[in-house]
Amino acid sequence: MSNEENEIKLKLMSAAINAEPINNIYIKEFENLIEKDFKEFCNNELVVNSANAIDNLRHILHNMQNIASFPELHSKTLGAIGGGYSSGKSSFINSFITDSRIKLAEGVLPVTAIPSYVVAGNSPKVNGINDKGGIFDIDFKLYKSINHEFLKEFAFDLKKIIRYITVLCPMKEDLFDNICLIDTPGYNSPSSVSKKHDFEIAKEYIKDTQFFIWIIDIERGTIPKDDLKFLNECGFGENKDSVQNRNRKLYVVINKADLKPQGYIEDIIDEITEVLDDNDIIYEGICTYSSRMKKIYNFCKIDIIDFLLDQNVSNVIYGTLADILDDVFCEYYLKINHNIKENEKKRKEVKAIELGMIESGIDLDSEAYAMIEKGLNKLTDHFEPEESTENRIERLNQIYEQFLNCLNDFCDEMGIDRPITRKLRKTFEEILVEKEFKEEFKKVYEVWEEIFIMLEEFKNLFR
């Protein structure tokens, strides 16, 4: 390794370690609310699995940190680019970048080591975000060389310090002005050291996305079993029942199509369509594509350009984060009320046992009755509330409002629009009714969507 290469690596390492997080008072406040106020609240309310609730609140915090570090991100629709190692994920994104100075690392070996957020912009720049949320510049030339082999040359795991990279670069505006593409590591790196890490990283970054483009190397001849397993784990197959999974759209790109004759290309798209259908994988479309030639060869259902056009809409991030917050506290509201009703029911059952004994003619002065009565009284006391329902709900309301106000203040400072309907504080009853309405609407929409697809397939039979 030359002195110049050593110097470049030392500069990157120094910049990554020393970059300080953005000083945002609302991010600090939200973090303190989680670590102090909410954990104290959880100690008093044991009706909900607090670990899940804390994870969801930290998920909101993570999004706030991302927005503060990369403000261009907040209005974008997130789409992840996934696939096996060396399937052509990075080259697929590169085929849409119009500035030759900025290219994601490509190669036949696993190259994407750190996830990259790629956003269209007229002023090209590349930044790294460290584990503290600090931002530092990365030279264009250096960015192209950040791959698995590059990171192996460090004496420690740099991926634990650099969380992700943000890339602002010129792209086709009609396709990408409202889209952020996330280039994820191949989930199945051949290196046993990074395989598990890359698998979890790929899954983690897919979780937040509105759409997912899965890249398959045409040389594979079909979609590998490991790909199907990964897609299932991400919720596109057997696990597609959750609302989040149903809403996330999947598109499949068979890359490197320029390497095969037309007859082979037509056969492979039929083969992959059949495999996906047999495995109940829901997808919007499939196409054969060449990143090198920037060309679509053929497609099923919809081509990749039309798919991207459909996704190129501004995303209301506030609504997404506020909904997660509502879900956390609505669960507590429902469980507190359920807990109160259950305890009341059990108190009545204990009372019924006592009345039943009296009606049976038991001697009320007997020692046996005295012992049973003492036990029943202890049981009744066990189901007596330690504090009133009003106090529990009031405490819930107070901490919910603290989180909501903090999120609102953060969004106002960052210039994130809040819909008028979200500017007034709603009761938990109103939130639950609204959620129920949305769920019913989605079910109706999905039924109509299925009918529409069936009609299209029926029409195709007669074409």
Domain CATH for 183: 3.40.50.300
Supply the range of the domain harboring residue 402.
11-62+318-425
- Whole-angstrom CA distances from 147 to 11, 107, 195, 203, 218 are 17, 9, 14, 19, 23
Instruction: Find residue 136's DSSP bridge partners.
Output: 128
Distance set, CA 409 to CA 27, 413, 425 (Å): 10, 6, 14
Residue 196, burial from CB neighbour count under 10 angstroms (0-12, 13-18, 19+): exposed
Q: Is residue 442 part of a domain?
A: no
User: Would you state the structure tokens that stand for residue 12, as one six-digit string?
Assistant: 């990157």
Q: Do 222 and 298 lie in a common domain? A: yes
Q: Do the domain assignments include residue 453?
A: no
Same domain flag for 124 and 178: yes
How many whole angstroms separate alpha carbon 234 and alpha carbon 213? 12
> Is the confidence at residue 108, as pLDDT, over 50?
no
Distance between CA atoms of residues 145 and 141, nearest Å: 7
Answer whether residue 40 is part of any domain. Answer: yes
Residues 87 and 132 both lie in one domain: yes
Q: Which of 315, 384, 316 is nearest to 346 (CA)?
A: 384
Question: Looking at the structure, do residues 170 and 31 belong to the same domain, yes or no?
Answer: no
Please, how many CA atoms are within 13 Å of residue 255, restricted to the half-sphere of its CB?
24
The residue among 184 and 41 whose pLDDT is bigger is: 41
On whether the CB atoms of residues 124 and 99 are closer than 8 A, the answer is: yes
Q: Is residue 108 classed as helix, strand or coil in its secondary structure?
A: coil
**214 is a domain residue:** yes
- pLDDT, average across residues 335-342: 75
d(CA 403, CA 417): 18
Separation in Å, CA 381 to CA 374, 376, 385: 11, 9, 8
Query: Does residue 152 belong to any structural domain of this protein?
Result: yes
Q: What is the pLDDT of residue 243?
A: 39
- pLDDT tens, position by position, 163-214: 888 899 999 878 898 999 988 876 665 554 455 555 676 677 677 788 999 9
Q: Is the dihedral of CA 236, 237, 238, 241 positive or negative?
A: positive
pLDDT band at residue 244 under the 50/70/90 scheme: very low
- pLDDT tens digits for 116-128? 899 998 888 889 9
Q: Is the pLDDT of residue 157 over 80?
A: no
